[in-house]
Structure 1
């Protein structure tokens, strides 16, 4: 990381209890030529990957539902969130990590995955970059009935794409990565007509 417009002054670890929260003080060269000292906190939890499983024959998708504490403390009364399968890379490459997470969370074993894009999900405060994938699934690709490893307490949902899109519009699906993948798939279907 070498940027002539940034001079790091101080990097403090505020917490490394779950992941790492840093307080970084730096000088930043603005467009007008003035060096400005700024302080920001950045939460580093590692990079991740997410995938939307799609059955083209039935036009259905596989999503998960699980408890997410941050959503609960921010007003989600049940704390349950419907989302695309996802997980941290844990020192794997994105493709291997998402294959592992897909099997752990959904019970599906997928082989032909397609990378669709990468995105920083909350770049103002979180370092995480997500790698987005899609993959085909069918009734024969499932390895374990129901999926979801016990310690994660995950429900696996199979929904028609049209219903999932309605759930986005009705505020039942509010997870950013999931909305992005659903919209990507929906747009791809529109373009192929």
Structure 2
């Protein structure tokens, strides 16, 4: 099979910010054609988790998402800080957003949110054995409501399209497959 990989000839940064960086690449396709302006968003990597408490309840969070202008039902997650290990970031995010600590955090998959335009990855986890150990420790602009649900309720939320965040749906898909193969 012939190579499908493009060669980056040059990159120009249009915006550099803490949450998103925009650059344009000049690329050469395998057949020699030149792509003069391919826009690329550089984001930090993310983590999220399907989090189960000791009594097998799934922790969901509800928060406002301004870009989409929706109140969103989600699983816990967030940005990996600097050179933080993904599992450490996940444990930190779980504790900050929910106040729960977990016995086990298992990596289920690594996915690309949008590989056509963005550079980042999302690490999807299953966290089990959760115990409430503290109150939430939210960032200045976060307002997060935590709720507990049965696995069957979460499946119904998915069936009714009540979870709009696609990366969270992906994690739920992997977690539900894993849970089907586990004895709880």
TM norm structure 1:
0.82
1:44-123 alignment, distance < 5 Å: 44-55=42-53, 57=55, 59-72=56-69, 79-91=70-82, 92-123=84-115
Aligned residues: 177
Note closer, same or farther for the CA distance 1:97–1:35 as it changes in structure 2 (3 Å cut). same
More helix by share: 1
Give the distance between the partners of 2:102 and 2:119, measured in 1 at CA.
Answer: 28
Give the distance between the partners of 1:104 and 1:192, measured in 2 at CA.
Answer: 27
Residue 14 (str. 1) matches residue 14 (str. 2) = yes
1:15 match: secondary structure? strand
Residue 9 of structure 1: how far off its partner (Å):
2.3
Residue 4 of structure 1: how far off its partner (Å):
9.6
RMSD across aligned C-alpha pairs, in angstroms? 2.1
Matched residue, 1:133:
125
- Structure 2 unaligned segments of length 5 or more: list them: none
1:8 match: secondary structure? strand
Q: Deviations over 1:25-52 (max 9, x none)?
A: 11020xxxx2121232111111111111
1:71 match: secondary structure? coil
Q: Deviations over 1:132-186 (max 9, x none)?
A: 1111134xx21224x3526211111211111111111212111122212222232
Deviating 4+ runs (over 4 angstroms): none
